[in-house]
Structure 1
Amino acid sequence: MALYLVQHGRSLPREIDAEQGLSSEGIAQVERIAGVARGYRVRVSKILHSGKKRARQTADIYGRLLEPAGGIEECAGLNPMDDVSSFAGRVRSDENLMIVGHLPFMEKLTSHLVAGSAERRVFKFQNGGIVCMDKEAGDRYWFIKWTLMPEIG
Structure 2
Amino acid sequence: MAIFLVQHGKSLSKDIDPEKGLSEEGISETERIATVAKGYDVHVSRIRHSGKKRARQTAEIFSAALEPENGIQQSSGMGPLDDVVAFADTITSEDDIMFVGHLPFMEKLASYLITGMADRPVFKCQNSGILCLDKSPGTQSWVIKWSLMPNIG
* TM-score of the superposed pair, with normalisation by structure 2: 0.97
Residue in structure 2 matched with residue 141 of structure 1 by the alignment: 141
Residue in structure 1 matched with residue 115 of structure 2 by the alignment: 115
Any conservation in 2 of the 1:3–1:93 contact (CA below 8 Å)?
no
What amino acid is aligned across from residue 68 of structure 2 in structure 1? P
* Per-residue Cα deviation, 1:90-109 (whole angstroms, up to 9, x for no partner): 11233110000000000000
SS of aligned partner of 1:43: coil
SS of aligned partner of 2:126: coil
Residue in structure 2 matched with residue 129 of structure 1 by the alignment: 129
- Which 5+ residue runs of structure 2 have no aligned equivalent? none
Which residues of 2 match residues 4-153 of structure 1 at below 5 A?
4-136=4-136, 139-153=139-153
C-alpha distance in 2 between matches for 1:17 and 1:78: 21
Q: Could you tell me how far 1:138 is from its partner in structure 2?
A: 5.2
Q: Could you tell me how far 1:51 is from its partner in structure 2?
A: 1.0
Could you tell which deviates more after superposition, 27-36 or 90-99? Answer: 90-99
- Which 5+ residue runs of structure 1 have no aligned equivalent? none
SS of aligned partner of 2:11: coil
C-alpha distance in 2 between matches for 1:131 and 1:12: 23
State percent identity of aligned pairs.
Answer: 59
Runs of 4+ aligned residues of structure 1 deviating over 2 Å after TM superposition are: 136-141
Q: What is the RMSD computed on CA atoms of the aligned residues?
A: 0.9
SS of aligned partner of 2:139: coil
* Per-residue Cα deviation, 1:12-51 (whole angstroms, up to 9, x for no partner): 0001000000000000000000000000000000000001
C-alpha distance in 2 between matches for 1:16 and 1:138: 50
C-alpha distance in 1 between matches for 2:149 and 2:76: 26
